[in-house]
Structures are given as C-alpha cells and as structure tokens.
Structure 1
C-alpha cells in the first residue's frame, strides 16, 4: 500500500509541477490520462472537455486502448453515463451488458469490462468528464478513488487557468484591434469615426438577428477592422472618393483583399478574415473582390456591407454629401435583395430605431426615427428602378 501511495503521490506531484510551470494544457491533460492508465493498470483513460451551453464536446485527450464504444460517443450519451450533477464516481460494472453504450467496436464490446467515470467542474459553460476503463471487472480502493478524483481536479485547475489566460488574451486582442483602427484613421482623418460606427452598428444588427453575444462581438471587431486594407491607400485617393478614375477605383477595390492578408497571419484575428474580405460583395453577385452571391457571402460580411453603406450615407465623405434618414431608408430598401441581405437591412433599421445612440452621429428626433423605420418597411411598393445613391468604399 505504501508503494501504491508513493506512485499516486509521484503522479500527482508531476501534474502539479506541469500546471505551475506553465506547460500547455493539452500536454497536462495528456500527462493526467497517461498517469491514470499506467498507475492504475487500466486499459485506457479519456478526459473530455465539454461546452454545455453550445451542447458539444470541445476537446478530448486519451491514453491507452481506443475503446470506441466510449471514445466515439456523442455528448448526450456521455451526459447520460456521467451526469454533470453527480457528486460521486460513476461505476459501470460490465459494459458488455450495458445498453447505454453503443456497440461501436469491430468485435463488439468485448475488450473492456469495467468503466469508472466522474464529472469535473471547470468554469461555466465548460465542464470536464474523466473516465478510466479496465479489461476485467474492477472495484477501486479508497486510495484509487482519491487518486482519480485528485487528478480529475488537477485537470480542471489546468483548464481553468487556460480559460482565464484566454480572457487576458482577449483583452489584449481588443486593445490591438482598437489600436490598429486608430492607426488607420489617424492616417486618413477624413474617415474618422467610420470604423467605430460600423462596428457598433454591426454588433447591434447581429444581436437583432438573434446571433450570440460572442458572434456579435466578433462583428464589432470586424467592423473596426473592415477597412484596415486602406492603410496602404494614399490620402489623395481617399480624399476624392466619388471622383476617381477607373485605375484609382481598381486600387481602392483591392482594400478588402489587402485587409484580409494583413489579418490572416494573426491567429487571434484570423476568424475575422472572411468578413473583412467579403464586406463589399453584393447579394446579386456584382460586388468584389470575388463576385460571391446570396448565401455564399458569409453572414458577417453581409451585415458589414449594409452597416458600412448606411454609415456612409448619413455621415458623408470628402466629396460625398450626407443624406437624410428618410432618404437612407429608401436607399436601403431599394438595395435589399440585390445589394444587401434583406434580413440584415431590416435588422439594422430596427436596431437604429430602438437604440439611436449606437452611432456618434446625431440621428434626429424620435419622430424622424419612426419615419425612418416606416419608410423602410413601406417602400417595397415603390419603384425598384430608382437610381442608387453614392456607394461607400
């Protein structure tokens, strides 16, 4: 027994040292499942990380024999086997005769007999599930129960630290995004405030469309950076929007590609790349840079497209006069279905009507905003062939 305790203590100490030395979480979990398999002479061990809000298995680390009847099950089956509210280890004496485990093995459930598992509390919405399995019937001694529980909790500590680190990383990410935006707008003061306004509009529109807060926040960040590709465009060109030659227009139309190329190598910004690259695509396929149409355009890019155009309409640009809310409503409706995603346009109008402070730009009286929403809703009966207003770039 002393020798057994020595093994347990050594494994526990090794994992603790790995956690506090800053080792990657993947490697720590790998050490945990390997230590459990080796020390308990088990057939294998698995540590799942689950996202309960998203209803999915976020990650899985295993060691030993791949018992597919357990390792390949879905989250509902896992939660049936090892409920999140269980306050003790779950023993399955003989999986060969337990219908809760599907028969996913080529030779059937013949190589594993006993399975012992436990739910692990991490940091909502994340939780863990740890399971160890044996090739013969097995009961655990008190020392083994303590050992398994302790290593399961050590995994939770490692994951908790990793999640807290991610929060700090996201804060750094936010500061980086805002810094890049300020750098762009300092170079081109004629567009000052545009990216921030587009980001706010995009976030509000995404929430109105029923997207999650996380997805909406990504839209905000993409809005901040949607024009980052213009950082290489000369002020003399951006100061003459609406009066450019075809060659100059070709240069301006490269900014979504340039912006995507700037962001792509930055891993913590790479999820924004499709939105930035495609925010000038049109629903009818006449946009740029790739001529995508309809649902082939990422939904985030469709939201950015309508928010970008609306902000430009009401704020104006050098050489481009702003238009009224009433005219903007008409123009949004004309473009819905051809230039803009109709659902995104409707959500934008509703978001602005409900929360006009989403923009720094003065939005007019409540009566103006009501008329804005009414005109957008009713204008579908008007002439769809009216000329489109000055576009945004």
Structure 2
C-alpha cells in the first residue's frame, strides 16, 4: 500500500497541475481512468458524464478491458445499475450473478468479478459516475476507496471548470442572439416586450411543473426566441396581423420554420430549436407547420403555445383590441383540449390562483380565476370519465 500511495500522489500532482494549467479535459479523464486501473490493479475503469435533466449519457471515457455489459448500456440502464439511493458509492460483489448487470456479452460478464462505483456532482444537471472493475471478487480497502474518490473528484473538478467556462461563453452568445431579436421586436410599439413576457410566463409554468433548472432555462430562452423567424418577413405583413388574406397568412405560417432554420447552426441553442419550430402546433393536430397532435408536440412547444396566446390576448395588436384578463382566461379555458394542452392551461390557472405575483399579476386582478379553474377541472374530469364508458 505504501507503494500505491506513492504512485497515487504522483498521479494526483500531475492531474492537479493539468487542471490548473487548462489542459484538455478529455485527456485529463483518460489519465485518471488509466492510473486508477494501474494503482488498484483493476481489469478496467470507466468515467461517465451524464445529464440528468436530459436523461442522457454525454460522454464516456474508459481504460482496460472493454466491458460491453457496462460500456454499451444506455442512460436508463446505467442509472438503474448505479442507483446510489443517497449513498456515496455502489458495490457489486459479483457481476456474473448480479441481476443489475445486463447480459449483453456473456463472455464479458464472466470475465468480471466485483465493481465499485462512486458519484460526483459537476455543474447544473451534469453528474459523474466512476466505476472500477476487477477480474475476481474483491472489496476495496478504505485506503483504496479514498484513492478512487480523490482521483474521481479531480475529474469532476476538471469537468466543472471546463463546463463553467463553456457556460459563460454560451451565455454571451445567447445574449447576443436574444438581444438582436428583442431589438428588432422593439421597432413595433405593440409587440415591444412580447417575447420577454412570453419568456417569463414560460419560466413560471416550467417551475410550477417542477422541470429541472436546465429545462426551465431552455423554456425562458424559447420564449425570448420563439418569433425569431419573423426577422425575414416584410414589415407590411406583420403590421396587418389580424386582417391577413390567405396568401399573407401562408407567408406568416412559415415563421416557425424560418426560426428553426436560423437556430439550427447554433449548436448551443439546439434545445430551443424544436420549441421555436412547433410553438404554433395545436393540441388537436390542426396547427402548423407539421400538424402534430397531443403529446407528439414537444412539451416546451406546448407551454409556449399557451404563453404566446395568453400574452397576445392581453397586449392586443394593431388590428385587434387587447382583452381583459378574465376574457383571456375564458379563451384559454375554451381552447383547452383543442388549441391548448389542458394540463398546461390548468398549471397557468394554478399560478394565477396561488402565486399571481410570480407572473406579474396582483391577487386582486386574478380574483376571477377560481371559477374558471374549477370549470376546467370539471371538464377534464368529464373527459377522463368518458374514456371508460
């Protein structure tokens, strides 16, 4: 063990220096899994970076025996195997006989004994899972576990530094795109502030639905950018919203497609693109551009549909007057199930009923919400009951 600790401290110093001098994060992680395998005399080692918000594996770095039963699994299987249940680590004594390990490769499964995994929070919804596996059944000593934990933490620090830097750069780029969009919107006195208010409503609904912080941020950006496709449209057409002829309406219906096309090359806004593309779909399938229906419409787009319509009704436009809050609420209630996802409308009603200040309203202005909320709840109950008749 003295020799192991000596080697560990050499590795630890090298990795620490690499992190602080800004070396490539992937190379740092490769160095970590390689040295863990050597120090612990393991058959192999894998470091996963997972995004718990998007429920996906973002990257995987491995060294040693290519253990297919671990290396080739999907996110759901990975999280089922290493379900920490609040513990700092997971120990699998014998992979061959453990039901958690999938039988993707019978030979590979027979060649591995014990597996030890430790977990690390990185940034936002990102998490690190570090697993080391051995030829035979073998439990780590406390000292060996400390080595695994310490080198894994170094990997998470490297990732945290890298992802935080990426976040700052991406925030700057997002602000540039959004600032450009809002500047164009400001040319029209009646649409000025529309996207910001839609974004705020979308954020409130996302939080009420208990979406992750990353998903809530995506909703906010989606609200800001949902009408970016109108950049390429003639001002004369935009000024006639509400009295458009069929030809002009066909042109306006292209703005979600144009918006998605604008965002497509911007990888850092890839989560926003489908929200922009589908925010004019209708719950009953009669919307555009693709006529998607129900849950086939991305959740974020369904949220934006409600927020966009709600803000437009309250603000009005050049050729149609703004509505009172109660009239807008009635329209949302009547459109639930046809134009709008009823559960999202009900979530907005809950916000207006229980915490109206979060959406920029006063309790006094939302005094009417109770009766309309009950009516919507009753109509949803009737629809559910009819499924069993």
Question: Normalising to structure 2: TM-score of the pair?
Answer: 0.78
SS at match of 1:191: coil
CA contact (8 A) 1:203 1:217 kept: yes
More deviation, 213-222/10-19: 10-19
CA contact (8 A) 1:264 1:273 kept: yes
SS at match of 2:366: helix
> CA deviation digits over 1:82-101, x for unaligned, max 9?
98436xx9795xx4786477
Q: For the aligned residues, what is the CA RMSD?
A: 3.9
Tell me which structure has the larger Cα radius of gyration. Answer: 1
Other-structure match for 2:118: 119
Other-structure match for 1:192: 192
Residues 1:61 and 2:61 are matched in the alignment: yes
Other-structure match for 1:314: 314
**CA shift in 2, pair 1:168/1:314, >3 Å:** same
Aligned-residue offset at 1:47: 2.1
Other-structure match for 1:370: 367
Whole-angstrom CA distance in 1 between matches of 2:234 and 2:53: 46
> CA deviation digits over 1:324-363, x for unaligned, max 9?
2232222222211111111112222232344444556xx6
**CA shift in 2, pair 1:187/1:31, >3 Å:** farther
**CA shift in 2, pair 1:228/1:2, >3 Å:** same
Alignment of 1:249-264 (within 5 A): 249-264=249-264
- Match for 1:85 among 85, 88, 110? 88
**CA shift in 2, pair 1:39/1:319, >3 Å:** same
Whole-angstrom CA distance in 1 between matches of 2:219 and 2:287: 20
Other-structure match for 1:75: 79
Aligned-residue offset at 1:210: 3.9
Aligned-residue offset at 1:305: 1.0
**CA shift in 2, pair 1:329/1:48, >3 Å:** closer
More deviation, 124-133/253-262: 124-133
Whole-angstrom CA distance in 1 between matches of 2:141 and 2:334: 74
Aligned-residue offset at 1:297: 1.2
**CA shift in 2, pair 1:133/1:291, >3 Å:** closer
Whole-angstrom CA distance in 1 between matches of 2:259 and 2:52: 35
Other-structure match for 1:221: 221
**CA shift in 2, pair 1:262/1:148, >3 Å:** same
Residues 1:327 and 2:327 are matched in the alignment: yes
Give unpaired runs (5+ residues) of structure 1.
383-393
More deviation, 281-290/129-138: 129-138
Give unpaired runs (5+ residues) of structure 2.
380-389
Other-structure match for 1:348: 348
**CA shift in 2, pair 1:256/1:298, >3 Å:** same
Alignment of 1:146-295 (within 5 A): 150-169=150-169, 171-172=171-172, 175-176=175-176, 178-295=178-295
CA contact (8 A) 2:352 2:369 kept: no
Whole-angstrom CA distance in 2 between matches of 1:137 and 1:379: 59
CA contact (8 A) 1:330 1:379 kept: no
SS at match of 1:119: strand
Question: Normalising to structure 1: TM-score of the pair?
Answer: 0.78
CA contact (8 A) 1:49 1:129 kept: yes
**How many residues matched?**
373
Alignment of 1:101-120 (within 5 A): 102=101, 104=103, 105-107=105-107, 109-113=109-113, 117=116, 119=118
